[in-house]
Structure 1
Amino acid sequence: MWRNKNVWILLTGEFIAGLGLWLGIIGNLEFMQEQIPSDFLKSLLLAAGLLAGIAVGPLAGRLTDQYSKKTVMLISGFVRIISVVFMLIAIQTSSVWWMLVFLVLLQISAAFYFPALQAAIPLVVSEKDLLQLNGVHMNVSTLSRIIGTAAAGLLLVAIPLNAVYLLSMAAYIVLFGLTWFLQFDENKKASAVKDGQPKQGFKDVFPIIVKLPIVMMTLILTLIPLIFLGGFNLVVINISELQDSTAIKGWIYTAEGLAFMSGAFLIKRISYKFSPYKILFASSMLIGWSQLMLYFANQPVLTIIAFLLFGFSVGCFFPTAATIFQTRVPKDFHGRFFSFRNMMDRVFFQVVLLMTGFLLDAVGLQNMSVMFGALSIVMTTIFFIRSRNLRASAETEQSARS
């Protein structure tokens, strides 16, 4: 796997793009703190961008399956570069509306880019290397997040906000250049999709999901970490205000990122001892407990422990889920499936984002954390019991047939 140049291009591109992304995200938080006083209004602005990504999801899935994944990644990368121009205008004019244009274009770009990337990964390496590559890919993403957030914090003190976004644009340009050098065989896959016209529709992916119980269950379980991730940045801002500490933001991102990397690094060894089901359910339960711990968000040490626990859990969860999707879903449907998953995540992310903004204003961070933590634990418990019943029924039917 490590002799494959496509692997290195993907990982290098992910690292550089991640730096640009997180420079932009921290810049967004800084801009919103200056321009928008209400947490709920902040969440509305972020949700508007997500809504645009959801709207183009079906089109992104169809095009990813019908055309070259590399071409889709290049076009979406170009749109991402152009989007930064509108954020520079927003800073110059102090206009939230121009920031909205930036967020819409950025999310539309992501709606095309990430399904194409997830569909391309199984074409780059063999199936036996998928779990390892997914883990390494997510580690590289997390490392870029740690460095990007730390660099953004330092840069915001040293240089103007628009200069931070120029650096973000430079990173996206480098990613665009690296994508040109990707080389993998997808001509055979593209012709197969074109010949099978009934497989062209976006809705055709739903029967595939229904026929694969592990895929369906994993899709549902991915909602658990999104309960935490949906309002992650708003939560970090509130913890900073609760503790009256700017530095805690950096500590939180760093702790969560390092823990995530540890989980993603160890997941291949863990997978030898435990089934994917056990890994997913255990990780989901730990995510719930990490949310409950934020009831003590006024205590810096307990706050960091909560984010360490969360980071390690999602570090185990997401590579396992990604590998299940890439190996169990037929490759002809990868574009539409990953686009559907992207849409589902965005819809739920949007709901959680709005709910987080509302609850932070209404009941406060600590009470909201208890509510979300209890919801995560109850959902995981219900899904676990249902999963055991389904597997028991399947085993009974199989033994009856034999």
Structure 2
Amino acid sequence: MRKNRNVWILLTGEFVAGFGLWLGIIGDLEFMQDKVSSDFLKSLILVAGIFAGIIAGPLAGKITDQYNKKTIMLYSGIARLISVAFMFIAIETGSVWWMIAFLIAINLSAAFYFPALQATLPLVVEKKDLLQLNGIHTNVSTLSRILGTAAAGIFLSVMSLWTLYLLAFISYVVLFILTCFLKVDEQKGKAQSIKEDAASNGQGFKEVFPLIKGQPLVLMTLVLTIVPILFIGGFNLIIIAISEIQNNPSVKAWLYAAEGISFMLGAFFVKRYGNKSPYATLLFFSTIIGISQLVLYFTNMPIITVVAFILFGFSVGTFFPTAATIFQTNVPSDFHGRFFSFRGMFDDFTYQIVLVATGLLLDIIGFQQMTVIFGVLSLLITGCFYMKFRNGNRENSLFEEAG
């Protein structure tokens, strides 16, 4: 893959886009922190953008299958540039409504861009190299998040919010230019797509539910994903709250960086030294996630806060690859498309519920009490599954599946 120009274009574009994206996200949080006092309102503002992306999802998937992927990515790039213009207006006018327009526009562009990008990856490498490319792509995305958030924290101390978004705008221009140089043979996957469309004709999510019910390990894993989402769903609001409690705007960048680096280490750990039992791995790191939430009760101590984010990042870095492996190996391949579509909708719906709940709880009971509630809930969910499968034949069958 080292000599594949398309791979280099896509990976470089992913890094540049991710860097710009996270500059913008830190800018969003800074803008809301200044203009919006209620954490619940902040959560509703963030949900508005996410909800717009979810609504556009089915249409985006259909268009991605029907039209040229490169063209979709280019149009999405233009939409992304226009969305940043909305944020410039928001900064000049101090209007939160223009920021909402920005969030909706940029999430809509992402709803079309990322399916097209994911559909392009199998077209630029051989099938045997696809897993490696996906792994590299994930690491590049994580690295851009770490560097983007760290840079944003530094930039905000030496430049205006307007200049920060200008840098994000320049990043998106670079991405658009790089995309123009892509040369993809889109005929490559058409024959397989026709076969898959014929096989799935007339089938929907209703066939997925009996499958999940009949696979205890899959059902357990699907429900356990709620545990990290309890933290991730309100992640940006949590970062803002910690920044306000510690009266330190730059802590945002440090916490994002700590979580991102430890996430990469966790992914490396599970790949090389992972437990032979995915069942045990999930329960163990789900417990650690719950503990990290409880530790945030002491968020007025900066070192403890960083440690909590390191624990969380490392645990999530092992949790999600393990969960993905369970889904891929225990769900029949004929159901992969429908199952992963259902899982995506399940995750997005859960994210929105958690995001709104986080904002509401921050307003009603405060940050520290909220972290205790989420931590206890995470441990209860984990404990229920541990007790359910501890004894009896069901536990034995799960360990056989996991092995």
The TM-score by the shorter chain falls in which range?
A: 0.7 to 0.9
**Structure 2 counterpart of 1:270, from 267, 273, 279:** 273
Is contact 1:208–1:329 with CA below 8 Å preserved after alignment? no
Deviation (angstroms), 1:337: 5.9
Q: Which has the higher contact order (CA 8 A, sep 6+)?
A: 1
Deviation (angstroms), 1:338: 5.3
Distance 2:137 2:355 in 1: 26
Gaps of 5+ in 1: 397-402
- RMSD across aligned positions (CA): 3.3
Is contact 1:61–1:337 with CA below 8 Å preserved after alignment? no
Q: Structure 1 stretch 225-234 or stretch 131-140: which is displaced more? A: 131-140
Deviation (angstroms), 1:320: 4.1
Distance 2:319 2:398 in 1: 25
Deviation (angstroms), 1:308: 0.5
Provide the residue aligned with 1:345 in structure 2: 347
Provide the residue aligned with 2:233 in structure 1: 230
Question: What is the correspondence of 1:22-33 to structure 2 with a 5 Å cutoff?
Answer: 22-33=22-33
Could you say if the C-alpha distance between residues 133 and 218 of structure 1 is closer, same or farther in structure 2, counting changes exceeding 3 Å? farther
Could you say if the C-alpha distance between residues 241 and 299 of structure 1 is closer, same or farther in structure 2, counting changes exceeding 3 Å? same
Secondary structure, counterpart of 2:357 in structure 1: helix
Provide the residue aligned with 1:199 in structure 2: 200
Deviation (angstroms), 1:104: 0.8
Distance 2:130 2:69 in 1: 18
Provide the residue aligned with 1:294 in structure 2: 296
Could you say if the C-alpha distance between residues 177 and 38 of structure 1 is closer, same or farther in structure 2, counting changes exceeding 3 Å? same
Is contact 2:153–2:252 with CA below 8 Å preserved after alignment? no
Is contact 1:115–1:339 with CA below 8 Å preserved after alignment? no
Could you say if the C-alpha distance between residues 207 and 155 of structure 1 is closer, same or farther in structure 2, counting changes exceeding 3 Å? same
Provide the residue aligned with 1:400 in structure 2: none
Could you say if the C-alpha distance between residues 331 and 157 of structure 1 is closer, same or farther in structure 2, counting changes exceeding 3 Å? farther
Deviation (angstroms), 1:150: 2.2
- How many aligned residue pairs are there? 394
Report whether the alignment pairs 1:378 with 2:380.
Answer: yes
Question: What is the correspondence of 1:279-318 to structure 2 with a 5 Å cutoff?
Answer: 279-318=281-320
Secondary structure, counterpart of 1:187 in structure 2: coil
Q: Deviations over 1:196-225 (max 9, x none)?
A: 457367x62553575364665544333321
Gaps of 5+ in 2: none
Distance 2:233 2:308 in 1: 16
Provide the residue aligned with 2:358 in structure 1: 356
Secondary structure, counterpart of 1:56 in structure 2: helix
Deviation (angstroms), 1:354: 0.9
Provide the residue aligned with 1:253 in structure 2: 256
Deviation (angstroms), 1:275: 4.3
Secondary structure, counterpart of 2:251 in structure 1: helix
Q: Deviations over 1:370-401 (max 9, x none)?
A: 111121222233345667765746899xxxxx
Provide the residue aligned with 1:109 in structure 2: 109
Is contact 1:66–1:190 with CA below 8 Å preserved after alignment? no
Q: Which amino acid aligns with 1:352?
A: V
Distance 1:122 1:382 in 2: 40
Provide the residue aligned with 2:38 in structure 1: 38
TM-score of the two chains, using structure 2 as the length reference: 0.84
Is contact 1:295–1:367 with CA below 8 Å preserved after alignment? yes
Secondary structure, counterpart of 2:300 in structure 1: coil
Deviation (angstroms), 1:311: 0.8
Secondary structure, counterpart of 1:252 in structure 2: helix
Is contact 2:293–2:374 with CA below 8 Å preserved after alignment? yes
Provide the residue aligned with 1:221 in structure 2: 224
Is contact 1:287–1:376 with CA below 8 Å preserved after alignment? yes
Distance 2:256 2:54 in 1: 27
Could you say if the C-alpha distance between residues 390 and 71 of structure 1 is closer, same or farther in structure 2, counting changes exceeding 3 Å? farther
Distance 2:165 2:88 in 1: 7
Provide the residue aligned with 1:399 in structure 2: none
TM-score of the two chains, using structure 1 as the length reference: 0.84
